[in-house]
Structures are given as structure tokens and as C-alpha cells.
């Protein structure tokens, strides 16, 4: 009964483990607090001034007792550290290969969610039951923190840096989403709902273009990225064998040699930086001529472009900028009349 009450909201694969760690740490704290307070009271009474106790042979030290206490505390402290570090490292580390990637953008004061197939949601996240999900998070402005208490998931959302967390939803229902980092005047309104559905209900929701949410279905992230790629004329330099800029096919996760003598792996963070601040990393053999896109693209558009560049790892680039550019700018601005 009590267990049901205390663990009622454990709705993700890791939640029971974090509950366990929490209760063990609480029990240890209570144990040592009671022990130390009791000894203070016992010694205060036993050695009070009016006590006629023998004070003739004060103990200077007790090697055996000291080593026993140090040994015991070390084992308990390090034991708890390794026991709790393991799940910590797991959820922030690499997810299982079948994990669904979902992108989360925090901005004053809302959560913007992008599913790879193009479904976008505001202050809402729909997930299928039992499937691992990896959230990749970034902030458009200040530091936020993505916090779903029932999942025991809290991850800082930082400007200029992708962070990640993964878990498996294990309960059907609606769970509160909060921002756990004070981020300005309307921080307390930066909330939302995570809805976990049966896989077949989720499939129906997805097929209907996320119609139960406020976002709606648009082109996939890869298609949206391709449209931006054409809109901004990227292909005129990055197209095959223009010689002006490196080709982007098979760029993702490859090793890039830079003019400053260092090398870099072209992961998401590298590509993001290369789009927004291209003069920071210049590949060997090229001039720093690419325009800076820092003030032209929002984080959602950058994620779309990265998705498109990733997709080029199996295909090749178009030869000319002939593809029609459909303008998607403005879609990210769909907010529910909130102050931003």
C-alpha cells in the first residue's frame, strides 16, 4: 500500500532505480543523523560538569576504531557512488540502437518538440509505450531544464550545446512536464504534458499527423532541411565538385582536417557550429568565405539542416540548385499566443 503510494508515478524504465537510490540515500542520512545526534545527547549527559565520572585517563586515540570507521564509511560512500553512477551514466550515454530520436528546443517560455517525421508539438510530447526514446535537447536562448518527474528525467537544456537523455516509457497516461531551471519572468508557465500511448494508438496519432496535438504534420526534418538548403543557396558552393566548399555527402561523422592543424569529427555539434559560425572551423584547402548564419536560422532550422546533411551520407548531392525551394520559415513561430 505504502509502496504503491510512494512509487505510484514511476513511469519510465529508470524510475524504479532512481526511486531506490533516493530511498537508500534518505535511509543512510536518517541513520547517520540519528546516530550522531544520539551520541551528542549521550555524551552531553554522561560528561556534564556535575557528573562524578572518572576523567583521569583521557583517550588520545584508538587506531583500531579509527581505521574501522574510515574503512566502513569509505565502503559505504564509494559503494553508493558506483551503484548510483551506473544508471546516471546509462541514461546520459548512448541509447539502444532502436531508440527513437526526438528533438527538444527550449525557448522563453515554451517547449518545442520535433519528431523526425515532421510532427511538431508545442508544450506537448506524445510517445509510444515500451519503445526507447532519445531526447536531443538545445536551447534557443537561456539555460532551461527538461523535467518529467514521473520519468525521473531531468536534463539541462543549454544554448549552443546538444544534450541527450534516453529512457523507455513504461506506463500509459499523461505526465507533467516542467522547466526546472529558473529562466525568466514566465519560467513557471513553461510547462506541458507528456502523453504515453499504446503503440497502436501512437501509430494512429502519427498517421493522423499528430492531430491530437497543437503542432501538426509538416514535411519530414530531412525534407525541411533540404528546402532550407536550397532556399539559402547552400548548394551553389556545397554542390558536387564546385571546388568552393567541401562536398557534404558522407560528411556526417567523418574526420575533418582543419586549417589550424587540428582535426574534428563531423558530428551534430560540429555541423551546427559550421553552419552558424563557419569561420571558427575552416577545412584544409578552403577559404573562410561562407556567410555566418548565426542570426538567420533558429535551432529548429539548424536541426532540419543537420538531418538533411546526415541523409547525404547514403546519397549524393544534387548537381545544381534547380530544386524548388519551399519556404518553411515562420512555421517555428507557431506558438499559442504566449509571451516569448
Beta bridge mates, 257: 263
- How many residues does the structure list for the chain? 340
CA–CA distance, 216 with 118 (Å, rounded to integer): 8
Give yes or no for residue 179 binding Cu ion (CB under 5 A).
Answer: yes
Binding to Cu ion in span 11-50, by CB under 5 A: none
d(CA 201, CA 198): 5
The stretch near Cu ion (CB under 5 A) out of 8-16, 20-28, 174-182, 212-220 is 174-182
Among 17, 115, 144, 155, interactor with Cu ion by CB under 5 A: 144
At its nearest, how many Å lie between Cu ion and the CB of residue 159? Answer: 12
Binding residue count for Cu ion, defined by CB under 5 A: 4
Cα distance between residue 257 and residue 285, in whole Å: 9
Our measurement of the distance from residue 164's CA atom to the centroid of its chain's CA atoms, rounded to an integer in Å, reads 3
Alpha-carbon distance of 270 to 306, in angstroms, equals 10
Q: Which of 105, 129, 177, 183 binds Cu ion (CB under 5 A)?
A: 183
Q: Residue 109 or residue 166: which is nearer to Cu ion going by CB?
A: 109
Nearer to Cu ion, 144 or 238 (CB): 144
Distance CA 178, CA 52 (A): 61
Q: Does 190 bind Cu ion (CB under 5 A)?
A: yes
Least Å distance between CB 149 and Cu ion?
15
CB atoms within 10 A of CB 169: 25
Choices 22-30, 39-47, 184-192, 245-253; region in contact with Cu ion by CB under 5 A: 184-192
Name the residue nearer to Cu ion (CB basis): 105 or 317.
105
| C-beta closer to Cu ion: residue 106 or 225 | 106
Pair type for strands 192-197 and 173-179: antiparallel
Give me the residues that bind Cu ion (CB under 5 A), please: 144, 179, 183, 190
Amino acid at each position: 500500500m505504502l509502496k504503491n503510494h510512494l512509487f505510484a508515478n514511476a513511469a519510465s524504465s529508470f524510475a524504479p532505480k532512481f526511486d531506490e537510490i533516493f530511498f537508500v540515500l534518505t535511509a543512510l542520512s536518517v541513520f547517520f543523523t540519528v546516530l550522531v545526534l544520539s551520541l551528542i545527547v549521550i555524551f552531553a549527559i554522561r560528561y556534564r560538569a556535575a557528573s562524578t565520572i572518572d576523567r583521569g585517563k583521557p583517550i588520545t586515540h584508538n587506531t583500531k576504531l579509527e581505521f574501522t570507521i574510515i574503512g566502513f564509511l569509505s565502503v559505504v560512500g564509494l559503494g553508493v557512488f558506483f551503484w548510483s553512477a551506473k544508471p546516471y551514466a546509462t541514461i546520459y550515454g548512448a541509447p539502444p540502437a532502436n531508440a527513437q530520436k526526438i528533438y527538444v528546443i527550449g525557448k522563453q517560455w515554451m517547449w518545442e518538440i520535433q519528431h523526425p517525421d515532421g510532427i511538431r508539438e508545442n508544450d506537448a510530447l506524445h510517445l509510444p509505450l515500451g519503445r526507447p526514446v532519445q531526447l536531443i535537447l538545445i536551447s534557443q536562448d537561456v539555460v532551461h531544464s527538461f523535467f518529467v518527474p514521473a520519468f525521473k528525467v531531468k536534463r539541462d537544456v543549454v544554448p549552443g550545446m546538444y544534450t541527450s537523455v534516453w529512457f523507455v516509457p513504461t506506463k500509459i497516461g499523461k505526465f507533467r512536464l516542467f522547466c526546472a531551471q529558473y529562466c525568466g519572468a514566465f519560467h513557471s508557465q513553461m510547462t506541458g504534458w507528456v502523453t504515453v500511448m499504446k503503440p497502436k494508438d501512437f501509430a494512429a496519432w502519427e498517421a493522423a499527423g499528430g492531430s491530437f496535438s497543437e503542432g501538426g504534420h509538416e514535411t519530414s526534418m530531412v525534407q525541411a532541411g533540404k528546402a532550407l538548403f536550397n532556399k539559402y543557396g547552400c548548394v551553389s558552393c556545397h554542390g558536387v565538385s564546385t571546388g568552393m566548399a567541401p562536398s557534404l555527402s558522407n560528411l556526417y561523422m567523418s574526420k575533418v582536417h582543419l586549417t589550424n592543424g587540428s582535426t574534428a569529427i563531423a558530428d551534430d555539434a560540429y555541423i551546427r557550429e559550421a553552419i552558424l559560425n563557419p569561420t571558427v572551423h575552416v577545412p584544409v584547402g578552403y577559404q573562410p568565405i561562407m556567410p555566418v548564419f548565426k542570426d538567420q536560422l533558429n535551432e529548429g532550422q539548424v536541426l532540419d539542416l543537420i538531418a538533411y546533411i546526415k541523409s547525404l551520407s547514403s546519397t549524393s548531392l544534387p548537381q545544381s540548385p534547380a530544386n524548388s525551394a519551399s519556404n518553411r520559415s515562420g512555421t517555428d513561430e507557431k506558438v499559442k499566443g504566449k509571451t516569448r
